[in-house]
Amino acid sequence: MDLGIKGKRALVCAASKGLGRGCAEALAEAGVDLVINARGAEALEQTATAIRDRHGVAVTAVAADITSQDGRAAVLEAAGAVDILVTNAGGPPPGLWSDWDRDDFIAALDGNMLTPIALMKACLPGMIDAGWGRVVNITSGSVKAPIPQLGLSNAARAGLTGYVAGTARQVAPHGVTINNLLPGIHATDRAIMLDTGVAKAQGITLDEARAQRQATIPARRYGTAAEFGATCAFLCSQHAGFIVAQNILADGGAINATL
Ligand code: NAP
């Protein structure tokens, strides 16, 4: 399917690896020029080169912490006016409800709620002026069903979801859509980190921890970054202009709910 976005320009945050990279790759395949970001310069440059070579689009790489004010400013300056924004950052650490104090919550809110909000605030005016724009926020299945050990994520992402629900309906009259894409478990470094935590906590091997978590997913496997990226690219396509303020779950059926 032609997504109808060839020649558009996208900012994809936290995109040297994992789900962000999957989104960047899928947008590049659709002919979108990219500004990509991550903190580690080496992996970021490797990803930029690989995407340029594979898809022939322009890729600008900005090594910066997207959750810091200075990092965001550098990324936004390099990006300039964009048609498409994919917000993403690392997830907060796991733990118990009793572990976290105010500073932990502030860090989680900064990374997974206030950062995407600041990015939208910076990019939406240009999209509104152009009469066309797409925003996809990578959040988490934890928005629909809480993950006990990820209380910081449950809290911060719920706040972002509320903000998007209101804001998306204010920008939709200008041809701009905002939606959230909610990953269940995907085979990325983040999943390995969480599998390792399960293995340690239960005194089992990493393979056993992975098998245990896979068994909880009706699809009986982890998702891939490529599948996730393709869904993101569709939400950024011309065809998705009537999809507004939705929370789209990509989780292999893991959350057992009718709606
Ligand atoms: P990942 O494989 O660990 O990749 C994270 C990417 O983000 C890397 O490119 C990393 O590069 C970059 N990054 C991290 N923190 C950053 C920061 N502060 N500024 C700029 N770039 C940053 O993670 P993932 O699995 O793709 O997860 C992406 C998001 O989805 C996370 O918020 C995660 O919590 C959420 N999520 C993932 C899953 C899953 O199963 N994978 C499930 C639910 C939710 P650098 O380290 O070099 O910066």
CA atoms within 13 A on the CB side of 95: 14
3-class SS of residue 46: helix
Q: Whose CA is nearest to atom 24 of ligand 1?
A: 18
What's residue 151's pLDDT?
Answer: 96
pLDDT band (50, 70, 90) for residue 53:
very high
Helix (H), strand (E) at residue 206: helix 206-214
1 alpha carbon – ligand 1 mean position (Å): 28
Residues of the chain with pLDDT > 90: what percent?
Answer: 98
What's residue 177's pLDDT?
Answer: 99
pLDDT, tens digit (0-9, with 9 covering 90-100), for 236-246: 999 999 999 99
What average pLDDT does the segment 65-73 reach?
98
Check pocket membership of 19 for ligand 1, CB cut-off 6 A: yes
212 alpha carbon – ligand 1 mean position (Å): 22
pLDDT, tens digit (0-9, with 9 covering 90-100), for 182-229: 999 999 998 898 899 999 999 999 999 999 999 999 999 999 999 999
Beta bridge partners of 218: none
**Kind of pairing, strands 33-38 and 59-63?**
parallel
CA distance 195 to 170: 40
pLDDT band (50, 70, 90) for residue 130:
very high
Q: Of 141, 136, 235, 232, which is closest to residue 180 (Cα–Cα)?
A: 136
CA distance 238 to 245: 16
What average pLDDT does the segment 98-110 reach?
97
**Kind of pairing, strands 84-87 and 59-63?**
unpaired
- Measured over the CA atoms of residue 93, residue 109, residue 243 and residue 1, the dihedral's sign is negative
Helix (H), strand (E) at residue 239: none
pLDDT band (50, 70, 90) for residue 167:
very high
174 alpha carbon – ligand 1 mean position (Å): 31
What's residue 101's pLDDT?
Answer: 97
Check pocket membership of 91 for ligand 1, CB cut-off 6 A: yes
Check pocket membership of 37 for ligand 1, CB cut-off 6 A: yes
CA distance 14 to 225: 13
Q: List CB contacts of 146: < 8 A, sequence separation 6 or more.
A: 154
Check pocket membership of 188 for ligand 1, CB cut-off 6 A: yes
CA distance 35 to 12: 6
Helix (H), strand (E) at residue 36: strand 33-38
Rounded to the nearest integer, the mean pLDDT of the chain is: 97
What's residue 190's pLDDT?
Answer: 86
Is residue 85 within 8 Å of 134, Cβ to Cβ? yes
190 alpha carbon – ligand 1 mean position (Å): 7
pTM beyond cutoff 0.95: yes
In one letter, which amino acid is 39?
Answer: R
What average pLDDT does the segment 166-172 reach?
98
**Beta-carbon count within 10 A of 194 CB:** 20
> pLDDT at residue 49 above 90?
yes
What average pLDDT does the segment 124-151 reach?
97
CA distances 227 to 10, 21, 39, 148, 192, Å, are 19, 11, 24, 26, 18
> pLDDT at residue 170 above 90?
yes
